[in-house]
Structure 1
Amino acid sequence: MSDLEIRPAVLTDIPAVVAMLADDPLGARRESPDDLSPYEAAFRRLTDDPNQRIVVAVREERVVGTLQLTVVPGLSRRGATRSIIEGVRVHSDERGSGLGTQLIQWAVDESRRQSCRLVQLTSDTTRTDAHRFYERLGFAASHVGFKLTL
Structure 2
Amino acid sequence: MMNKNIRLAQLHDAQSIQLLLEQLGYVLPVAALAKTLTECQDNPHSRTDELLVYEQLNAQGEPQVVAVMVLMFFDYFPALSRICRITAIVVDADMRGQGIGTQLIDFAKARGRQEACQLLELTTSTQRIAMQQYYESIGFTKTSFRYSLVLS
TM-score bracket, shorter-length normalisation: 0.7 to 0.9
Displacement of 1:10: 0.6
> Separation in 1 of the partners of 2:37 and 2:65?
16
> Separation in 2 of the partners of 1:46 and 1:62?
21
Of residues 22, 27, 32, the one that matches 1:31 is: 27
Counterpart for residue 60 of structure 2: none
Calculate the TM-score normalised by the size of structure 2: 0.85
> Separation in 1 of the partners of 2:122 and 2:11?
24
Q: Indicate yes or no: 2:11 matched with 1:11.
A: yes
Provide the secondary structure at the position in 2 that maps to 1:116.
coil
Displacement of 1:46: 4.9
Structure 2 gap segments, 5+ residues each:
58-62
> How many matched pairs?
141
Of residues 32, 43, 47, the one that matches 2:37 is: 43
8 Å CA contact 1:108–1:119 kept in 2: the answer is: yes
Counterpart for residue 52 of structure 1: 49
Displacement of 1:74: 2.8
Runs of 4+ in 1 over 2 A off after TM superposition: 40-51
Displacement of 1:149: 1.5
Change (3 A) 1:104 1:112: same
In the alignment, residue 51 of structure 2 is paired with which amino acid?
Answer: I
8 Å CA contact 2:52–2:68 kept in 1: the answer is: yes
Calculate the TM-score normalised by the size of structure 1: 0.86
> Separation in 1 of the partners of 2:40 and 2:122?
18
Q: Cα deviation per residue 1:14-73 (whole Å; 9 max; x = unaligned)?
A: 11011011125xx1xx404xx312222333455543421111110010001110000002
Counterpart for residue 124 of structure 1: 125
> Separation in 1 of the partners of 2:11 and 2:150?
27
> Separation in 2 of the partners of 1:5 and 1:19?
19
Identity over the aligned pairs, expressed in percent?
26
> Separation in 2 of the partners of 1:43 and 1:130?
27
Over the aligned positions, Cα root-mean-square deviation in angstroms equals 1.8
